[in-house]
Amino acid sequence: MEKRPLFHFTPESNWMNDPNGLCFYKGEYHIFYQHNPENCYWGNMTWGHGKSKNLFDWERLPHALKPDSENFGDIDGCFSGSAFVEKDELYLFYTGVKMLTKQKNEFGNTITIGLNDLAPTQILAKSEDGINFEKLQKLSLEIPEECCKAHVRDPKIWKKDEVWYMIIGARENSQGEVLVYNSKDMENWNFLSKIKEENMGYMWECPDLFSVGEKDILFISPEGVGKDEQKNISGYYLGEFNYETGKFIHEEFERLDYGFEFYAPQSFLDDKGRRVFMGWLVNHAPLPEENWTGMMTLPREIKMKDGKLYTFPVEELKKYRAEKLQEFSHLEKAKNMYDFEIVLENLENFQMLLFKDQEKSLKLSYSKEEKSLVLDRSEVINSFEPLKTFGTIRKLKIDGETEKKIRVIADKSVVEIYINDGELVMSSVLNPTSCQKGVEVMGNILSKEIYTLKR
Ligand code: FRU
């Protein structure tokens, strides 16, 4: 179990994908997640569950939702959704699915034969103790005629001025979109509008809409839009949401993370008024010798500054900074558990080698020709093919002439890199050998703060 991260949420065992139902309930944080209780590959979608007082020490709880009801229509899967807390009650909204055709895949999991052979139902469940959930009802919502009925999923619910709002991922003629509804009773939903854009993929998954400061922010995870080897990406639109019409006027799409496998982020508001989210760092198979697949990003807080969105690890992470070191070379003993920040005069001659042994490393360097930061993980894959499917190089356009702050958090088999306090982020899952733990940083360094991380 050498590679299991200690600060990034992972399932106790088996497969995990999207974060679901993130919320703060009766003094504790709750995380739910798409889980396959049977094995390390996608299937049998069940809601895993954990809770925590500080977003890092998670207590594991029994599964919250199981795919077990013909009546509710979730017999073949409890897909993604969200939570809503009201008067000491915890509500979960999710997509139940029934598969209209079935076959077993190579891992023994049941999947449909055709991509559209899915019948989704939006379902409401409730808990009074935050542990046991009762499925309450199927939601009544009209899906516009022109939408593909098989692909309506991942409801996110919130409340404003005594009215509930829901957005849900959908597709129409191979174009992704979200459908917007409102409701006075959580059960009957009126269709308000569609939010969509040209050339933004064939399906929008896991939408989320919320405000930070003056801005409304829409998270979407469009399928079939990415360049590189990563076709499904996640990001956001900044804009203004009209609660009367459900229309959303927005700026250009931006990525939340320019690394390799970030997907399906979901946010929630905590008791401190912070907007926090986690995304899923996709991996389609367990790392060698491990019995779990998939991890979440660090919990990240969102802030707006000068009209721009910044995301950075919640401050609680700093409590785990253990020893302060003077030199990067001393980090070797931290065994890839560290958190450091440097200020660079500019990006000229900048190069950072992480997860380094005698010959190989993860490289972050500045390319003057391409005016880009280049993250190259090809030497820390160590023949683990599933990581290669997302590619080994990412390039991020950035000017190299001005001062830059770079924070790096390494956690065993994952690294998160924050540029300028979270103006830009790059994350990567890795498969280092036990010898790959050195750190070297070159460039015009103005200052540095180096810490080991400890549980
Ligand atoms: C996103 C997603 C969701 C769906 C869930 C199924 O990764 O495809 O749209 O609800 O995963 O596990």
Report the pLDDT value the prediction gives residue 226, as an integer from 0 to 100: 78
Spatial CB neighbours of 311, under 8 Å, sequence gap ≥ 6: 256, 277, 300, 301, 302, 303, 422, 425
User: How large a percentage of the chain has pLDDT more than 70?
Assistant: 100
Among residues 125, 124, 134, 68, the alpha carbon closest in space to that of 97 is found at: 68
CA of 343 to the centre of ligand 1 (A): 39
What phi and psi values does residue 155 have, to the nearest 5 degrees?
A: -65, 135
Domain boundaries, the chain: 14-313, 316-453
- Per the rule left: phi > 0, alpha: psi between -120 and 50, beta: everything else, 212 is beta
Can 228 be counted among the known catalytic residues?
A: no
Tell which one of 14, 15, 16, 17 to mutate to probe ligand 1, the residue whose CB is within 8 A of the most ligand atoms: 17
Which ligand 1 atom sits nearest the alpha carbon of residue 205?
9
Q: Say how far apart CA 235 and CA 423 lie, in whole Å.
A: 13
pLDDT-wise least confident of 177-186, 219-228, 362-371, 444-453: 219-228
CA of 79 to the centre of ligand 1 (A): 6
CB of 18 closer than 6 A to ligand 1?
Answer: yes
CB of 206 closer than 6 A to ligand 1?
Answer: yes
Tell which one of 95, 115, 206 to mutate to probe ligand 1, the residue whose CB is within 8 A of the most ligand atoms: 206
Segment 411-435 mean pLDDT? 98
265 CB-contact burial (10 Å; exposed 0-12 / middle 13-18 / buried 19+): buried
CA of 18 to the centre of ligand 1 (A): 7
Q: Does 14-313 match 316-453 in CATH topology?
A: no
CA of 45 to the centre of ligand 1 (A): 9
Report the pLDDT value the prediction gives residue 227, as an integer from 0 to 100: 76
Segment 379-400 mean pLDDT? 96
Q: Which CATH superfamily is domain 316-453 in?
A: Exo-inulinase; domain 1 (2.60.120.560)
Report the pLDDT value the prediction gives residue 354, as an integer from 0 to 100: 98
Report the pLDDT value the prediction gives residue 230, as an integer from 0 to 100: 84
Tell which one of 74, 80, 262 to mutate to probe ligand 1, the residue whose CB is within 8 A of the most ligand atoms: 80
Confidence of residue 346 (pLDDT cuts 50, 70, 90): very high
Segment 219-246 mean pLDDT? 93
CA of 78 to the centre of ligand 1 (A): 10
User: pLDDT per residue over 392-403, tens digit each?
Assistant: 999 999 999 999
Q: Is the domain 14-313 a CATH 2.115.10.20 member?
A: yes
CB of 76 closer than 6 A to ligand 1?
Answer: no
Which ligand 1 atom sits nearest the alpha carbon of residue 280?
7
CB of 78 closer than 6 A to ligand 1?
Answer: no
Q: How many residues does the structure list for the chain?
A: 455
Confidence of residue 1 (pLDDT cuts 50, 70, 90): low
Residue 57 pLDDT > 70, yes or no?
A: yes
CB of 153 closer than 6 A to ligand 1?
Answer: yes
Q: Say how far apart CA 147 and CA 218 lie, in whole Å.
A: 20
CA of 95 to the centre of ligand 1 (A): 9
User: How large a percentage of the chain has pLDDT more than 90?
Assistant: 98
Segment 297-312 mean pLDDT? 97
Segment 245-262 mean pLDDT? 97
Q: Say how far apart CA 220 and CA 229 lie, in whole Å.
A: 19
**Residue 435 to residues 2, 276, 333, Cα–Cα distance (Å):** 12, 35, 11
CB of 168 closer than 6 A to ligand 1?
Answer: no
Segment 190-196 mean pLDDT? 98
Dihedral, 8, 12, 16, 18 alpha carbons, nearest 10: -50
CA of 384 to the centre of ligand 1 (A): 24
CB of 452 closer than 6 A to ligand 1?
Answer: no
Confidence of residue 281 (pLDDT cuts 50, 70, 90): very high
Round the average pLDDT of the chain to a whole number and report it: 97
CB of 45 closer than 6 A to ligand 1?
Answer: yes
Report the pLDDT value the prediction gives residue 161, as an integer from 0 to 100: 95
Report the pLDDT value the prediction gives residue 228, as an integer from 0 to 100: 76
Segment 165-172 mean pLDDT? 98
CB of 79 closer than 6 A to ligand 1?
Answer: yes
Q: Any idea what DSSP says for residue 112?
A: -
CB of 95 closer than 6 A to ligand 1?
Answer: yes
User: pLDDT per residue over 58-70, tens digit each?
Assistant: 999 999 999 999 9
Which ligand 1 atom sits nearest the alpha carbon of residue 154?
10
Confidence of residue 299 (pLDDT cuts 50, 70, 90): very high
Report the pLDDT value the prediction gives residue 265, as an integer from 0 to 100: 98
Tell which one of 34, 121, 223 to mutate to probe ligand 1, the residue whose CB is within 8 A of the most ligand atoms: 34
Residues 22 and 266 sit within 8 Å (Cβ to Cβ): yes
Nearest CA to ligand 1 atom 9: 205
Residue 294 pLDDT > 80, yes or no?
A: yes
Segment 367-384 mean pLDDT? 97
CB of 80 closer than 6 A to ligand 1?
Answer: yes
Confidence of residue 338 (pLDDT cuts 50, 70, 90): very high
Residue 172 pLDDT > 80, yes or no?
A: yes
Entry pTM: 0.97
**Residue 182 to residues 89, 98, 164, 167, 187, Cα–Cα distance (Å):** 20, 25, 5, 9, 10
